Amino acid sequence: MNYEFFIAKRLIGSKAYKSSISAPIIKIGIAAIAIGIVVMMIAIATGIGLQQKIRDKVVAFNGHITISNYDSNNSQESVFPISKNQEFYPEFKSVDGIAHVQGVATKFGVIRTETDFEGVVYKGVGEDYNWQYFKEFLIDGVLPNLQKKWSEEVLISEYLANRLGFKVGSEFQMVFAKNDPEKLPNYVKCKVVGVYNSGFQDLDKQFLIGNLRHIQRLNKWETDQIGNFEVFINDFSKIDRKGIEVYQNTPSTLNTETVTNKFASIFEWISIFDKNIYGIIGIMILVAGINMITALLVLILERTQMIGVLKALGSNNWSIRKLFLYNASYLILLGLFWGNLIGLAVLLSQKYFKIFPLDPSVYYVSEAPVFISVGYILALNVGTLILCLIMLLVPSYLITKISPVKAIRFT
């Protein structure tokens, strides 16, 4: 029989325990654990959620890896064409973990209306384009149908639509300059069939998505020529390795660039979130541990006579220390229960009701995104329990210094 657990259980269930002098301190310790777990859950859920959301927004406009020509062109415009007749297209079979490859092209143009104009990048896409990300961004209308050879349908951002007074069904002309400034510009007629909002205003205000054939015609390219390939991978955590593998399995005339290199400043910024998360977890566990140490010390001092009696009856120091550690474990588990309950309630409220908005011009999202996973919640709870118990081993050593004779006479 585990008598230490039996005694700890009786102590926890007794009315005297709940109305003792240590009761307020115990409640503070439980509250510290609960608040700590709530803060840690929110920090991890929002930190990872924000990283994933921003990452997905950038990937939606660029792909995980871009394959383009070796040239000195640093602009967003496709200048020199690439043939679609490549070994890696349409399926990149030589590299594992490649989900999709698509051909696109971009060209600078000006949207002209009767009262206004706006410079944008026309991104031409074909039937191989993966609309997965933009389905989530779509707020009005439908996605363009590009099965028609000269489809005029385009997808425009809410930012541009508001600036130019467009809505679903609006028609306009885009003006594209020719290389020869003495020649008249080219015109492309467009019809808005969908409006999207990625929340990433820096990209929303740049891109309009339409038919690839218009860019091929304007640039006098063949139907099998594009500006660059966008490659999507299954596991973002392997992007650096997959970037190298893709580079090694493409012709020497082509260059590859990962999205983390192309938008290095953005990914460096969101990587800082990891340090913030680790810092918050460390501080919260330290605060919770200190509060539990205080509670345990009070419990030991309050039960000094009982400790003396147990020693007089033959209990060794480790058995008595186990008794108080069982007691402390109960308090920690109680704090974890309430912390998880409150934390999950807050996270689920944010996920489904969007109660905490953010400034998209600063955070690239309109509300705080949350990432909820059983894995990290379980790891957080187990880690907190173990670390707190390890911290409590030190104050429990005080029991070894208590003399049975003095303890029994303790008042």
Kindly calculate the radius of gyration of the chain based on its CA atoms and give it in whole angstroms. 31
Q: Please compute the mean of the pLDDT values over residues 87-100 and round it to a whole number.
A: 92
The pairing of beta strand 153-157 with beta strand 186-196: parallel
- Give whole-number Cα distances, 65 to 1, 27, 41, 232, in Å: 62, 53, 32, 7
pLDDT at 405: 66
More confident residue, 359 or 271: 271
Q: Given this model, what pLDDT does residue 380 score?
A: 93
Asked whether 30 and 299 are in contact (CB, 8 A), the reply is no
Model pLDDT, residue 409: 65
The H-assigned helical ranges of 155-303 are: 158-164, 201-204, 212-218, 239-248, 259-262, 264-302
Cα–Cα nearest to 175, from 116, 129, 127: 116
| CB distance 343 to 384 below 8 Å | no
How large is the angle between the packed helices 23-62 and 264-302, nearest 10 degrees?
A: 170
Q: C-alpha angle with apex 100: 99 to 102, nearest 5 degrees?
A: 165
What's the pTM?
Answer: 0.82
Q: What is the pLDDT of residues 334-391, one digit of tens each?
A: 999 999 999 999 999 998 988 888 877 777 777 888 999 999 999 999 999 999 989 8
Selection from 262-266, 293-297, 397-401 with the highest mean pLDDT: 262-266
- 208-249 residue pLDDT tens: 999 999 999 999 999 999 999 999 999 999 999 999 999 999
Average pLDDT along the chain: 87
* Backbone phi, psi, residue 339, to 5°: -65, -45
Quote the pLDDT of residue 17. 55
Residue 397 phi/psi, 5° resolution? -65, -20
Give the rounded percent of residues in the chain with a pLDDT score beyond 90: 51
Q: Please list, in sequence order, all residues whose beta carbon lies within 8 angstroms of the beta carbon of residue 60, skipping any fewer than 6 positions away.
A: 133, 134, 137, 198
